[in-house]
Amino acid sequence: MTKVTAQLSVSLDGFYAGPRHTGDGDWMASAESAGFFRVTRWATDAMAWRERQGFAGGEQDTNSEVIAETFAAAGAYVMGRRMADGGEVPWGEEPPFRAPVFVVTHRPRQRLVRGGGTSFTYVTEGLVSAVEQARAAAGDRDVAVAGGGGLVRQVLAAGLLDELELHIVPVVLGTGLRLFDADLDLAEKEGIELTPTRVLHAPQVTHIRYTVGGRAPLLLDDRGSGGGATTIIN
């Protein structure tokens, strides 16, 4: 059965990039870029990532195996317009996806076909439509939500995400673009429950995979009081 999955690199305090770059200057020189490249350094050093980008070298290790597995599992992608626009030039004529990519956007654009099996279809009918089209294109493989972080939150909030993998990097950024933000639209006593299914450790990063259980009420337990009133001892 096709799963909808997402994976993202985050700092210990939950940021996937530095403060959002909103000016006309060079994004590569921005604070957003600095935070992003810090939390994704483990990936850019990995052999599987470098091979997919057409680069030589890299480390063949646990991190590389995680990246290779992620690419192999994806039969189609869903992506935000900001990420698609930002990556169009750096990805070149043969982007690393090698599968159909469905871009969630409000601005129409003709379908863009690239080498290696990658195409970009610009979906203006909303997130649900993009996920449905990606499911149809993925066959017996997964639909991977490629990002950015805002789109991952939208898919999670909509109850469309089956699996989330976080790559937690041992750095504190202090500020920036946070993955889990208020726009998850959770009620005051509600949470989204996840179950960890795999943990892989590496010196630069810890990979934790979760099955997403969905929204659930937050219930007060009795703290061992046997059902009676809790006694507070000063």
Per DSSP, helices labelled H in 21-177 are: 31-39, 41-44, 47-53, 62-73, 81-91, 127-138, 149-157
| Span 139-149, average pLDDT | 94
Residue 213 pLDDT more than 80? yes
Residue 156 pLDDT more than 70? yes
Q: What is the C-alpha to C-alpha distance for residues 227 and 115, in angstroms, rounded to an integer? A: 64
pTM: 0.91
Locate 186 and state its tokens: 């959770």
Domain boundaries, the chain: 4-217
The gap between the terminal CA atoms of the chain, to the nearest Å, is 54
Query: Above pLDDT 90, what percent of the chain?
Result: 83
Q: What is the C-alpha to C-alpha distance for residues 93 and 113, in angstroms, rounded to an integer? A: 9
Q: The CATH number of 4-217 is which of 2.60.40.10, 3.30.9.10, 3.20.20.330, 3.40.430.10?
A: 3.40.430.10
| Span 211-232, average pLDDT | 76
Q: What is the C-alpha to C-alpha distance for residues 207 and 163, in angstroms, rounded to an integer? A: 13
In which band, very low, low, confident or very high, does the pLDDT at 220 lie, cut at 50, 70 and 90? Answer: confident
Residue 199 pLDDT more than 60? yes
Residues 85 and 74 sit within 8 Å (Cβ to Cβ): no
Residues 208 and 63 sit within 8 Å (Cβ to Cβ): no
Locate 229 and state its tokens: 């009133």
- Give the residue from 159, 157, 164, 207 showing the smallest Cα distance to 186: 157
Q: pLDDT tens for residues 1-59? A: 799 999 999 999 999 999 999 877 888 899 999 999 999 999 999 999 999 988 999 99
Q: pLDDT tens for residues 56-96? A: 999 999 999 999 999 999 999 999 999 999 899 989 999 99
